[in-house]
Amino acid sequence: SATVVSLQVGSHRDISLESLSLFRLLEPHIEILVLGTGDRVERLHPAMLKQMRECGIAVEVQDTPNACATFNFLMSEKRIVAAGLIPP
């Protein structure tokens, strides 16, 4: 089953630990968060990624088309995955 929620960000610059807090609250606990940062891969703050890892969530940052493909692949492998996607 899938749940759709709106990630309240306008661009990759708006992605913060606070904006990702929702993903830490989901049940069942997600293993992997795939973030699509639009037309290209954008660098996110390393401390934020580290804090997500400390919560038990691996974060994959990709351009949005590849993030969609990765999300679909992980879902097909029955992984507990979520995606935060910024339109290209």
Where are the chain's structural domains?
A: 6-59+72-81
CA distance linking residue 69 with residue 47, whole number of Å: 26
The pLDDT tens digits of the residues spanning 5-26 come to 666 677 888 888 887 888 888 8
CA distance linking residue 22 with residue 65, whole number of Å: 23
Enter the tokens of residue 1. Answer: 């089953």
Q: Given CA atoms 85, 21, 42, 76 in this order, what sign does their dihedral have?
A: negative
Q: Given CA atoms 64, 88, 52, 46 in this order, what sign does their dihedral have?
A: positive
Q: Is the pLDDT of residue 1 over 60?
A: no
DSSP annotation of 82: E
